[in-house]
């Protein structure tokens, strides 16, 4: 995306707050115009006092104090309104970015690192702030204020002096801040990408701190982070050199404005065209008129980084979600039957088929197990039922309705997936459970906890359901995390419950209690169990066996063992492990 396109989109966000931004711009113009007027009036006053033509020095002092107070008031209003606009727009931008990211998960974000995504939503959004708070008003001021100053000089002092001065502010505004703009833009983009990588590395290091300590990998991880930091430092030094060159050029142009005005002014005095007071005013204006333009030197580096950050945000929000809501949606029937018809799914750059022509029929209110070797496509099949992705060919039907014709929110309210990777959030036990049912009472939560074989643990907590569980549930064991996530799934009143390796970290006793709970669930809804541990699915109404993405066997436990196929081989290996 080009810088111009990014700028247009950012300005589009500004449209609802344009009146407030207009106030900020007006206040800046008034503030900076008075900033030029003060030294000009002071110079005239000094000359008149020195030549004895001033009526009263104190009158002049009072006038300057009054102007300074007014100037300060407009400065306050400019800062307040400008930042009010910026912070409101940053909140909007952050919310919009998250709303665009969420539909991409998980299939659309498989290649992204969580640390870099956090850096975009937090760091990059914050880096956009200078565009709204420190760019728009300064750019307008750098053009309007010098123009007003030159007009004032022409009216109150000398048109010739004003004409001699007019080119210098234009050079400062149009040349100095924008030198090496493409180079700075490229470096700014590189810096934001590198910062995202650094944030991702730090996130990985913090989340994996235990493993890093056990593996004694601290020096290796530290070196990686140091390398990222060093790369960022190199880019910042390059940006600093450009900023220094711009600043030096700005000083040179300011000096040129003063020298030019002095030379023309002296010539005008010698011819009697102007008096000393007009000359002093012109020198003061020449010295102060470049201040608005010089302000751009400071904001341009921040502006380039703001545009680079906005580009990263827009790139993310412009991605097309792998699944979308239908244009002509239909209501999902209450029936929890499932049909998987000739489904093929290919993943990765090589587009390898993970599922290949799979046909499955699952009756309503039954318990069905999906088993198979690792990599056979079991979890992918589970993801299809909640439309985390859509198949390349074939279709999924629930209650006889193609899931692609059902709004995503409706589908996911009727289908609950308990993932093999238990996701818990910073907060209390109750906070995490109520993600599934915000209106659930404490009694509802405890019933779900009891059914997940966590009752004794919950009753032992010092603060009960209000006990914090730490970030990602890091105060819990793996089995406790799995059972708490299962309790969250049981809270939802959905037609279909999918358990994807949801008991993989449980001991035998807890596993038996969970199996009993799951078996009871089929009395009120369809239960699909994706399992690696075969002992947990022996009572399933139907077992579906996948191998290399194909459905190779279906039947009940004993029938499949008798058949002597893939399932019998998996069961035999399981018995061998038990005997060992």
Average pLDDT over residues 208-224: 77
Is the per-residue pLDDT at 177 higher than 70?
no
- The answer to whether residues 553 and 567 touch, using CB atoms and an 8 Å cutoff, is yes
Q: How far apart are CA 571 and CA 122, in angstroms?
A: 49
Neighbours of 187 (CB within 10 A): 21
Question: Residue 54's pLDDT band (boundaries 50, 70, 90)?
Answer: low
Average pLDDT over residues 34-49: 86
Q: What is the pLDDT of residues 289-323, one digit of tens each?
A: 888 877 777 777 777 778 888 888 888 888 888 88
DSSP one-letter string for 321-360: PSS---SS--PPPS---EEEEEEEEEETTTTEEEEEEEEE
* Apex 91 CA angle, 89 and 92, nearest 5: 60
Is the per-residue pLDDT at 580 higher than 60?
no
Neighbours of 91 (CB within 10 A): 11
Q: How far apart are CA 488 and CA 205, in angstroms?
A: 29
Question: Residue 360's pLDDT band (boundaries 50, 70, 90)?
Answer: very high
Structure tokens at 129: 């702030």
pLDDT over 70 for what percent of the chain? 95
Bigger pLDDT: 268 vs 215: 268
Q: What is the pLDDT of residues 440-488, one digit of tens each?
A: 999 999 999 999 888 888 999 889 899 988 777 778 888 888 889 899 9
Residue 554's pLDDT is 93
Residue 179's pLDDT is 66
- What average pLDDT does the chain have? 85
Residue 90's pLDDT is 87
Residue 550's pLDDT is 92
Q: What is the pLDDT of residues 262-298, one digit of tens each?
A: 898 898 888 888 888 888 888 988 888 888 877 777 7
Is the per-residue pLDDT at 180 higher than 70?
no
Is the per-residue pLDDT at 343 higher than 90?
yes
Bigger pLDDT: 52 vs 289: 289
Neighbours of 77 (CB within 10 A): 17
Is the per-residue pLDDT at 33 higher than 60?
yes
pLDDT over 90 for what percent of the chain? 23
Q: Write down all domains in the chain, each with its CATH number in brackets.
A: 3-317 (1.20.1560.10), 338-422+496-579 (3.40.50.300)
Residue 285 is classified by DSSP as: H
Question: Residue 331's pLDDT band (boundaries 50, 70, 90)?
Answer: confident
Residue 11's pLDDT is 87
Sequence-ordered list of residues with C-beta below 8 angstroms from that of 111, at least 6 positions apart, any chain: none
Is the per-residue pLDDT at 578 higher than 80?
no
Question: Residue 334's pLDDT band (boundaries 50, 70, 90)?
Answer: confident
Question: Residue 577's pLDDT band (boundaries 50, 70, 90)?
Answer: low
Residue 365's pLDDT is 92
Sheet containing 542-547: order of strands? 415-418, 496-500, 526-530, 367-371, 542-547, 550-555
In whole angstroms, what separates CA 509 from the centre of its chain?
43
Sequence-ordered list of residues with C-beta below 8 angstroms from that of 234, at least 6 positions apart, any chain: none
Question: Residue 69's pLDDT band (boundaries 50, 70, 90)?
Answer: very high
Q: What is the pLDDT of residues 100-145, one digit of tens each?
A: 877 777 777 766 666 677 777 777 888 888 888 888 888 888 889 8
Residue 208's pLDDT is 73
Is the per-residue pLDDT at 182 higher than 80?
no
Q: How far apart are CA 530 and CA 502, in angstroms?
A: 8
Q: What is the pLDDT of residues 136-175, one digit of tens each?
A: 888 888 889 889 989 998 988 889 888 888 888 888 777 7
């Amino acid at each position: 995306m080009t810088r111009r396109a990014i700028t247009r989109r950012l300005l589009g966000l500004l449209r609802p707050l344009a009146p407030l931004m207009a106030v900020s711009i007006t206040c800046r113009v008034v503030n900076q115009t008075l900033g030029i007027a003060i030294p000009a009036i002071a110079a005239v006053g000094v000359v008149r006092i020195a030549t004895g033509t001033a009526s009263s020095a104190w009158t002049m002092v009072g006038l300057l104090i009054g102007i300074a107070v007014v100037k300060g008031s407009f400065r306050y209003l400019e800062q307040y309104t400008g930042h009010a606009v910026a912070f409101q727009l940053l909140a909007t931008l952050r919310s919009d970015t998250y709303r665009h990211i969420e539909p991409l998960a998980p299939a659309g974000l498989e290649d992204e690192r969580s640390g870099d995504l956090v850096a975009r939503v937090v760091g990059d959004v914050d880096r956009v702030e200078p565009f709204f708070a420190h760019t728009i008003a300064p750019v307008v001021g750098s053009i309007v204020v010098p123009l007003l100053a030159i007009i004032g000089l022409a009216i109150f002092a000398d048109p010739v002096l004003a004409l001699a001065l007019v080119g210098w502010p234009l050079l400062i505004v149009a040349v100095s801040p924008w030198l090496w703009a493409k180079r700075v833009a490229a470096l700014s983009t590189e810096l934001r990408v590198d910062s995202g990588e650094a944030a991702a590395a730090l996130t990985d290091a913090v989340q994996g701190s235990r493993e890093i300590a056990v593996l004694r990998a601290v020096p290796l991880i530290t070196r990686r982070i140091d390398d990222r930091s060093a790369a960022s430092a190199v880019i910042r030094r390059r940006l600093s050199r450009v900023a220094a060159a711009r600043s030096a050029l700005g000083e040179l142009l300011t000096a040129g404005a003063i020298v030019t005005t002095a030379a023309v002014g002296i010539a005008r005095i010698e011819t009697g065209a102007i008096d000393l007071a007009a000359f002093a005013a012109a020198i003061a204006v020449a010295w102060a008129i470049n201040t608005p333009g010089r302000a751009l030197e400071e904001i341009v580096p921040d502006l380039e980084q703001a545009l680079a950050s906005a580009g990263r945000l827009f790139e993310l929000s412009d991605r097309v979600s792998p699944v979308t809501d239908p244009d002509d949606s239909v209501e999902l029937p209450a029936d929890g039957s499932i049909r998987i018809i000739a489904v093929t799914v290919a993943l990765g750059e090589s587009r390898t088929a993970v599922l290949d022509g799979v046909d499955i029929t699952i009756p309503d209110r039954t318990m069905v197990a999906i088993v198979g070797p690792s990599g056979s496509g079991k979890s992918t099949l589970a993801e299809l039922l909640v439309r985390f992705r859509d198949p390349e060919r074939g279709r999924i039907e629930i209650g006889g309705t193609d899931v692609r014709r059902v709004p995503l929110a409706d589908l996911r309210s009727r289908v609950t997936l308990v993932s093999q990777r238990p996701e818990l959030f910073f907060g209390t036990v109750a906070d995490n459970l109520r993600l599934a049912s915000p209106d659930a009472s404490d009694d509802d939560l405890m019933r779900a906890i009891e059914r997940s074989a966590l009752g004794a643990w919950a009753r032992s907590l010092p603060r009960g359901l209000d006990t914090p569980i730490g970030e990602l549930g890091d105060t819990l064991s793996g089995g406790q995390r799995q059972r708490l996530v299962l309790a969250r799934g049981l809270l939802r009143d959905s037609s279909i419950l999918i358990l994807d390796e949801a008991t993989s970290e449980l001991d035998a006793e807890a596993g038996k209690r969970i199996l009993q709970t799951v078996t009871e669930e089929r009395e009120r809804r369809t239960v699909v169990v994706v399992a690696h541990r075969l002992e947990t699915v022996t009572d399933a109404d139907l077992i579906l066996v996948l191998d290399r993405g194909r459905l190779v066997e279906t039947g009940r436990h004993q029938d499949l063992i008798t058949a002597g196929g893939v399932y019998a081989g998996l069961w035999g290996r399981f018995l061998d492990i038990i005997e060992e």
